Amino acid sequence: MDLSEQIESIELKVRQLALKMERIQRENAALQEDNKQLKAELDRQKGTAGALKDKLEKTQRVLDLQREEQPEHSTELKDQLDQYIQEISQCIEWLRKH
């Protein structure tokens, strides 16, 4: 193999490497964008979970008071509390998956 063939071989390899680098850079940019979107969704879900937790705590306090004062309303509030617990469980499950 003479010098010009070696140079052509090196040039070919450099071009192939440059193409691979461009492809990897595009993939990296796409993955970074996906990561950014997933982090934003995670933040939204954490906010939802926090809001649901606050609702749950408030409902629990109200439920405790009404149990003492008005036992007939406790069943309705218990159902509402169970619904909040289910929503929180769903959020937690979603967060675990992501």
What pLDDT is attached to residue 72? 64
**How far is Cα 26 from Cα 63, in angstroms, rounded to an integer?**
55
How far apart CA 44 and CA 62 sit, in angstroms, is 27
pLDDT at 60 over 90: no
pTM for the predicted model, two decimal places = 0.54
The domain tally of the chain equals 1
pLDDT at 35 (0 to 100): 97
Cα 1 to chain centroid distance, Å, stands at: 56
Task: Give the pLDDT of residue 74.
Answer: 66
Residue 77: which domain range? 3-97
- Given a cut of 90, whether residue 71 has pLDDT beyond it is no
